Amino acid sequence: MVGIRIADPYRYVTLASGREIGCYTLLVATGVAYRTLAVPGLDRLTDRGVYYGAAMTEASACEGKQVFVVGGANSAGQAALYFADYAKQVSILVRGESLEASMSSYLLQEIELRDNIAVQTQTEVVGCFGEENLERLCLRESSTGTERSVEASALFIFIGAAPKTQWLPETIARDQAGFVLTGSDVKAHGWSLDRDPFPLESSVPGIFVAGDVRAASIKRVACATGDGAVAVSLIHQYLRAVR
Ligand SMILES: Cc1cc2nc3c(=O)[nH]c(=O)nc-3n(C[C@H](O)[C@H](O)[C@H](O)COP(=O)(O)OP(=O)(O)OC[C@H]3O[C@@H](n4cnc5c(N)ncnc54)[C@H](O)[C@@H]3O)c2cc1C
């Protein structure tokens, strides 16, 4: 899908071929694009010790092991605290000089209290090594240029994600990061009808949103599938009202 055109009561989805499909209502569930780390060896070991986001299912496999978390925002801090319950040692790797500017103070305080979490500032991953699974990382300290090889069982990467919303028209309101607003959040964004918006309805009536692309959604499979199921029910209610 490359675009949406509104001509009440119809919504037209434009396909990459240029063809349009008309409908009364549609559900946007285009997810997010995770930013990736360009490091030699990393692609080959992704999902084999290297993970984008918090792969909670991997926690038990981290029992007694060395775990690394890349990123300085709250998601990285929350993951480090979670994996610290299982791992022997969790190292948070950040390129900047400190975490203070990017992470909430409550997380910083909790991290400070944990003996098995270390914060390594001005440090980046420059190599990933392992036969079947991740075994070692090469880390570089940016202040000195010194490189060292460390044992690593898991590397969790939290360097951000961008919603796939560039193809949506301006009339579909989004938050500052580009995630689509829904429900009561759209009332201050050009909502024109007398009725309230449905919970997963965007600022354009009849266009519903589910999953990671939705502002304030929990970026997990269970949330995305739950949204999808709820959206189907809401779409039936919407269609009963407009037809
Ligand atoms: C590496 C990794 C590990 C994860 N591990 C876990 C985990 O362990 N547990 C967990 O609960 N969650 C995990 N997540 C998060 C989980 O994958 C997402 O929350 C979930 O997939 C969101 O579902 P979604 O349907 O919103 O989006 P997606 O699953 O991203 O699906 C969006 C779909 O829309 C398609 N699309 C995008 N743009 C367009 C367009 N313009 N036209 C047509 N199609 C389009 C995409 O190709 C894609 O198929 C992980 C995510 C990543 C990246």
pLDDT at 28: 98
Per-residue pLDDT at 58: 80
Instruction: Return the residue matching tokens 């909790």.
Output: 110
What are the extents of the domains in the chain? 1-32+163-170+182-219, 34-157
**Rounded distance from Cα 186 to ligand 1 centre (Å):** 24
CA 133 to centroid of ligand 1, rounded, Å: 23
Q: Name the residue of 212, 218, 225 to mutate for ligand 1: max ligand atoms within 8 A of Cβ.
A: 212
Q: Say if CB 151 and CB 136 are below 8 A apart.
A: yes
Cβ–ligand 1 contact at 163 (below 6 Å) = no
Largest CA distance in the chain: 68
Nearest to 198, CA basis, from 232, 162, 151: 232
Predicted pLDDT of residue 54: 66
How far is the centre of ligand 1, averaged over its atoms, from the C-alpha of 47 (Å)?
15
The CA-based dihedral angle spanning residues 30, 47, 140, 136, taken in that order and rounded to the nearest 10 degrees: 180
pLDDT tens per residue across all 243 residues of the chain: 999 999 999 999 999 999 999 999 999 999 999 888 999 999 999 999 999 876 677 888 889 999 999 999 998 999 999 999 999 999 999 999 999 989 999 999 999 999 999 999 999 999 999 999 999 999 999 999 999 999 999 999 999 888 999 999 999 999 999 999 999 999 999 898 999 999 999 999 999 999 999 999 988 899 999 999 999 999 999 999 887
Backbone dihedral angles phi then psi of residue 217, each to the nearest 5 degrees: -75, 155
Atom of ligand 1 nearest to the CA of 58: 8
- Measured over the CA atoms of residue 212, residue 217, residue 219 and residue 225, the dihedral's sign is negative
Same fold, 1-32+163-170+182-219 and 34-157: yes
Is ligand 1 within 6 A of the CB of residue 224? yes
Cα 31 to middle of ligand 1, angstroms: 5
Give me the architecture of the 34-157 domain, per CATH. 3-Layer(bba) Sandwich (3.50)
For ligand 1, is residue 164 a contact (CB within 6 Å)?
yes
CATH number of the 1-32+163-170+182-219 domain: 3.50.50.60
The one-character DSSP state at 37 is -
Bond preceding residue 9 cis, omega within 30 of 0: yes
pLDDT at 41: 96
pTM of the full predicted structure?
Answer: 0.76
Q: Are strands 50-52 and 117-120 parallel, antiparallel or unpaired?
A: unpaired
